[in-house]
């Protein structure tokens, strides 16, 4: 136990001298890095605008309130599109994620040496790129519209769903699988009766959870032209129609809250 | 039981249905089918355009085999550096702010009024998405990394405070009480009774959030909030797929490295 001698009295300390020196150096390095980062940000900022910010914010607030309520009649179709992008994207992603997850899980993959790394690479690369970037890319390839949004959401969700699913597959109880195998079941029957029932609750939970996230993401996909309510948002922002922007933001907020509520209810019912 | 068994003998076994009530099962299936048809019908796909695009898609995939790091290396370097700077600064500030908010949002530490205020802050921060916050902050603070930095800090607060508060709420009360019984004042109680219990989780969550912040910083540039996103957007607009592929590869490699690093750190602290 590290003890310090203060005027003949022993006082408890949390760390030894060397440890506290090391901690001190670590903190120093961290603060130096942060200071450098802050300096860079500060150099790239026009501080005049920042000092002016409160009045600008007040100005925007005055223009945005009250929201233009009658504009809601034009938002029905974009909301429907947004819902479709999220739902269809999630369904496509789940269809693609299931085989990837089975190939990536250590206990079901046909080959740990070749196929597993490929499956993991698919998971990492689809997961690390945001759906807006996928949408940007798909718009360049297949043109703007809802379809690009659906595919973008689908690709982005593959990695997420497959990662959670393969972790669930790796955690299954092996005795059940062995019991099914002992009855003389074929490889596919073992899959259907030994593994699938064990991961089904996890699968349903993942599906609803991802759907919730996808609703959030699909509301902004329109900013790059991939359909949904984001299109209206960017159009309103471009003409500085702040009352419309305020209404759209309220609608997006409502959609996010409702989808989160639905997903929490469904997950509560399943698990 | 035996009667049941007798009536079952000789019949092949059937999987029990997932939902027991027949009408509910069928109405759910039917409703889902109707929705699917309606959803698919309302999506207009210009197949001719898609077919045309396949050629570009092929080019893009081929570009991944020969990414061009060189011809725009200056822009890529500047954008990446800005993304990383934004990530680091926003993570530090966001984590710093979210610790007191997490303490306030834990019911076993904070009194009710503080609890409600902190939970309100968390709810607002979680409901607004990064990109929308970024749009508003760019409108208020002007273009540049400051808006991105503020956006990421704001988003970090909602994420980290919520999960940390849940961890504080589920901690072991006995240790905290023992510290209190030794006559510790509030600060010592937090520092020696609670902090050691939640530290591993805090470090794990912080690493995860740094990872998310970096990924998000890559798109903030699309709305003018600084970072690599602007460079990426330009590359797509000019159909410079090899440069775009280079940027995407760098992002993937950095995210993989961060994930690997956070795995090691989390294993060490837990």
What pLDDT shows up at residue B87? 92
- Whole-angstrom CA distances from B63 to A138, A171, B72, B246, B248 are 15, 38, 15, 9, 11
Q: Do A145 and B44 touch (CB under 8 A)?
A: yes
Mean pLDDT of B41-54: 81
Nearest to B132 among A53, A83, A220 (CB): A220
Domain ranges of chain B: 21-63, 74-269
pLDDT tens for residues A209-262? 899 889 988 988 888 888 888 888 888 888 888 888 889 888 888 888 898 888
CATH topology of domain A72-270: MetI-like fold (1.10.3720)
Is residue B270 very low, low, confident or very high in pLDDT (cuts 50, 70, 90)? low
What is the average per-residue pLDDT within A108-129? 86
Cβ separation of A40 and B232 shorter than 8 Å?
no
The structure's pTM equals 0.83
pLDDT band at B90 (very low <50, low <70, confident <90, very high): very high
Q: Which residues of A touch B140 (CB under 8 A)?
A: 53, 56-57, 60
User: What backbone phi and psi angles, to 5 degrees, belong to A5?
Assistant: -95, 110
Long-range contacts of the stretch A195-202 (C-beta < 8 A, 24+): A195/A108, A195/A169, A198/A172, A198/A173, A199/A165, A199/A168, A199/A169, A199/A172, A201/A270, A201/A271, A202/A164, A202/A165, A202/A168
- Domain boundaries of chain A, sorted by first residue: 1-39, 72-270
Q: Please judge whether B82 and A60 are an interchain contact, meaning their C-beta atoms are less than 8 angstroms apart.
A: no
A204 touches chain B (CB under 8 A): no
- The interface pTM score, or ipTM, of the predicted complex is 0.81
Instruction: Say whether pLDDT at A13 is over 80.
Output: no
Whether the pLDDT of residue B1 is over 60: the answer is: no
Q: Which of residues 191-250 of B touch A (CB under 8 A)?
A: 215-216, 218-219, 222-223, 226, 229, 232-233, 236, 239, 244, 248
Please say whether the structural domain B74-269 has been given the CATH code 3.30.70.2190: no
Over residues B56-70, the pLDDT tens digits come to: 888 888 888 888 887
Q: What is the pLDDT of residue B3?
A: 58
* Average pLDDT over all residues of chain B: 86
| Minimal C-alpha gap between A256 and chain B (Å) | 7
Mean pLDDT of chain A: 87
- pLDDT confidence bin for B102, thresholds 50/70/90: very high
């Amino acid at each position: 136990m590290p003890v310090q001698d203060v005027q003949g009295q022993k006082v408890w300390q949390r760390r030894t001298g060397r440890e506290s020196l090391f901690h001190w150096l670590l903190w120093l390095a961290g603060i130096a890095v942060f200071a450098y980062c802050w300096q860079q940000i500060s150099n790239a900022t026009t501080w005049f605008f920042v000092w002016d910010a409160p009045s600008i914010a007040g100005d925007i607030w005055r223009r945005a309130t009250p929201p233009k309520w009658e504009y809601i009649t034009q938002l029905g179709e974009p909301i429907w599109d947004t819902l479709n992008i999220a739902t269809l994207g999630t369904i496509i992603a789940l269809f693609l994620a299931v085989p990837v997850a089975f190939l990536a899980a250590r206990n079901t993959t046909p080959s740990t040496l070749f196929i597993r790394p490929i499956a993991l690479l698919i998971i990492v690369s689809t997961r690390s790129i945001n759906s807006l970037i996928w949408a940007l890319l798909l718009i360049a390839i297949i043109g703007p519209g809802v379809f690009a949004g659906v595919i973008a959401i689908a690709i982005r969700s593959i990695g997420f769903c497959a990662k959670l699913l393969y972790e669930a597959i790796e955690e299954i109880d092996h005795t059940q699988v062995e019991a099914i195998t002992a009855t003389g079941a074929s490889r596919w029957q073992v899959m259907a009766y030994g593994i699938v029932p064990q991961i089904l609750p996890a699968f349903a939970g993942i599906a609803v959870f991802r759907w919730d996230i996808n609703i959030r993401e699909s509301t902004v996909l329109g900013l790059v032209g991939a359909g949904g309510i984001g299109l209206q948002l960017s159009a309103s922002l471009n003409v500085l129609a702040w009352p419309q922007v305020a209404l759209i933001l309220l609608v997006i907020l409502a959609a996010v809250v409702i989808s989160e509520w639905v997903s929490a209810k469904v997950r509560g019912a399943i698990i | 039981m035996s009667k049941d068994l007798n009536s079952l003998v000789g019949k092949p076994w059937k999987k029990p249905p997932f939902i027991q009530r027949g009408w509910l099962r069928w109405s759910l299936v039917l409703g889902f089918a109707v929705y699917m048809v309606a959803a698919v019908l309302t999506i207009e796909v210009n197949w001719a355009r898609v077919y045309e695009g396949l050629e570009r898609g092929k080019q893009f995939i081929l570009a991944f085999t020969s990414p061009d790091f060189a011809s725009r290396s200056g822009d890529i370097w500047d954008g990446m550096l800005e993304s990383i700077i934004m990530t680091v600064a926003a993570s530090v500030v966001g984590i710093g702010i979210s610790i007191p908010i997490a303490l306030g949002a834990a019911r076993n530490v904070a009194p009710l009024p503080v609890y409600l205020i902190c939970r309100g802050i968390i709810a607002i921060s979680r409901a607004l998405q990064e990109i929308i916050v970024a749009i508003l902050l760019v409108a208020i603070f002007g273009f540049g990394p400051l808006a991105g930095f503020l956006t990421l800090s704001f988003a970090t607060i909602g994420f980290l405070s919520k999960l940390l508060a849940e961890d504080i709420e589920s901690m072991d009360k006995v240790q905290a009480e023992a510290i209190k019984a030794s006559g510790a004042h509030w600060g010592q109680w937090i520092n020696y009774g609670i902090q050691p219990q939640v530290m591993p989780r805090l470090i794990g969550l912080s690493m995860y959030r740094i990872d998310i912040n970096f990924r998000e910083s890559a798109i903030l540039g699309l709305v003018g909030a600084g970072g690599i996103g602007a460079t990426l957007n330009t590359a797509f607009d000019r159909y410079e797929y090899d440069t775009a592929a280079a940027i995407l590869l760098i992002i993937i490699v950095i995210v993989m490295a961060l994930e690997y690093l956070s795995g090691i750190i989390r294993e060490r602290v837990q």
